[in-house]
Amino acid sequence: MNVLEERILKDGIVKEGNVLKVDSFLNHQMDIQLFDDMGKEWKRRFEGKEINKILTIEASGIGIAVAVARHFNAPVVFAKKSKSINIDGDMYVAEVESFTHKTKNQVIVSKKFLGPDDHVLIIDDFLANGCALQGLISIANDAGATVEGIGIAVEKGFQVGGQVIRNLGFQLESLAIVDGMDAATGTITFRK
Amino acid sequence: MNVLEERILKDGIVKEGNVLKVDSFLNHQMDIQLFDDMGKEWKRRFEGKEINKILTIEASGIGIAVAVARHFNAPVVFAKKSKSINIDGDMYVAEVESFTHKTKNQVIVSKKFLGPDDHVLIIDDFLANGCALQGLISIANDAGATVEGIGIAVEKGFQVGGQVIRNLGFQLESLAIVDGMDAATGTITFRK
């Protein structure tokens, strides 16, 4: 069991509707020492990959990405959520549906900061149905960048997102894959 | 001239309407080494202050706050922007107007993560009219927390925000205070 799985068992809270609250250490209050340990682990798992840019999405991906970036000595670019329909030609755009908020957002990345020379590690806090991640991959593809790997903190293994991404051939490294949760007992089952 | 001021002169772009674009290193693409240097400088300026929590606001404050937090060995809490009018009683709420986007947002922080024992360093990327910062101070006050200091990357010295906050007696440390910009010549004048 890794440091993130241990922390989820200690401080994660299971709510009805397959909701896992990790806001005390991951995506509202953020434990920087934990993030650093997660960065070390991803560095180990992506050993040998030439990564020169970390790509994430606002808001809760940013903190993890910045902590991780130190281990790869690479800058972070975060995709911005945009409501405006008038995006000018200087932006890569992808449509992203939020599982939590049931809303659609456009996410945008300036063309200045992603291009064919970039070898990208995508980082995010959660993977469920995979919409946010598919948007980031789409943006990397539009830019002609190479996605070297994907690092997710918590994957909901009982939803399709992870399977889709692995079927597409990406190296997806989720530090904690939750295969089941029980709100009545508070039990969390991780994939081995 | 400090490392942030030097970087602004090198890569910042002045646009009409007193807009300073720093998105290549500060708030879209993020230079992690620069953020680390900024964290060291704030650590020096807030020497002797007992800081146990970094408070910031999504989205562009988060990256800087996480890099800074390492130097204070403290967790980060970020205020979330919320459109919902049904905020339950578990949240501190403040109203924040955005200078850039001309919109009003509620920002919220869970009561679980801020309280009377907290000695807070507030971090953000920009200070102009100070609305976001006033919202964060209001939330810290509601929580009974002590604001030990405020670290801002870029302060627009020709707007009122900085003066208001200093008049209120806070230790406000802006790493770059821009007193004037000229879009025609690209000139940027920093306060000494």
Q: Compute CA distances B161 → A33, B154, B183, whole Å.
A: 33, 12, 22
- DSSP 8-state secondary structure symbol assigned to residue B28: S
Minimal Cα–Cα distance from A61 to chain B, Å?
Answer: 10
Minimal Cα–Cα distance from B7 to chain A, Å?
Answer: 15
Tell me the C-alpha distance between A120 and A5, whole Å: 25
Tell me the C-alpha distance between B40 and B102, whole Å: 33
Do B23 and B29 touch, CB atoms closer than 8 A?
Answer: yes
Is it the case that residue A85 has pLDDT exceeding 70? Answer: no
A63 to B67: CB separation less than 8 angstroms, yes or no: no
- Please write the tens of the pLDDT for every residue from B18-46: 999 999 999 999 999 999 999 999 999 99
Average pLDDT (A52-72) is: 97
Mean pLDDT of chain B: 94
Is it the case that residue A86 has pLDDT exceeding 80? Answer: no
- Please write the tens of the pLDDT for every residue from B53-66: 999 999 999 999 99
- Please write the tens of the pLDDT for every residue from A93-142: 999 886 666 778 899 999 999 999 999 999 999 999 999 999 999 999 99
Which helix (DSSP H) or strand (DSSP E) does residue B15 occupy? strand B13-15
Average pLDDT (A55-72) is: 97
Residue that the structure tokens 């674009």 belong to: B21
More reliable by pLDDT, A82 or B37: B37
Task: Compare CB distances from A62 to B25, B59, B80 and report the shortest one's residue.
Answer: B59
Q: Per the omega criterion (within 30 degrees of 0), is the bond before A59 cis? A: yes
**Rounded to 5 degrees, what are φ and ψ at B68?**
-70, -40
Average pLDDT (B79-102) is: 79
- Please write the tens of the pLDDT for every residue from A134-188: 999 999 999 999 999 999 999 999 999 999 999 999 999 999 999 999 999 999 9
**Rounded to 5 degrees, what are φ and ψ at B98?**
-90, 125
In chain A, which ranges are continuous DSSP H helix? 3-11, 32-45, 60-72, 131-142, 161-167
B-proximal residues of A, 84-123, CB under 8 Å = 109-110, 112-113
pLDDT at B85: 61
SS3 A47: coil
Task: Compare CB distances from A62 to B25, B62, B75 and report the shortest one's residue.
Answer: B62
Least confident of A139-148, A168-177, B71-80, B81-90: B81-90
As a dihedral over the C-alpha atoms of residue B95, residue B99, residue B101, residue B102, rounded to 10 degrees, the angle is 70
Residue B67 contacts A where some CB pair is shorter than 8 Å:
yes
A24 to B112: CB separation less than 8 angstroms, yes or no: yes
More reliable by pLDDT, A179 or B105: A179
Average pLDDT (B124-152) is: 97
B35 to A80: CB separation less than 8 angstroms, yes or no: no
A36 to B63: CB separation less than 8 angstroms, yes or no: no
Average pLDDT (A25-54) is: 98
Which helix (DSSP H) or strand (DSSP E) does residue B61 occupy? helix B60-72
Average pLDDT (B100-120) is: 91
Do B135 and B79 touch, CB atoms closer than 8 A?
Answer: yes
pTM of the model: 0.95
Confidence category of residue B103, pLDDT binned at 50, 70, 90 = confident
A32 to B76: CB separation less than 8 angstroms, yes or no: yes
Task: Compare CB distances from A75 to B30, B74, B110 and report the shortest one's residue.
Answer: B30
Minimal Cα–Cα distance from B122 to chain A, Å?
Answer: 14
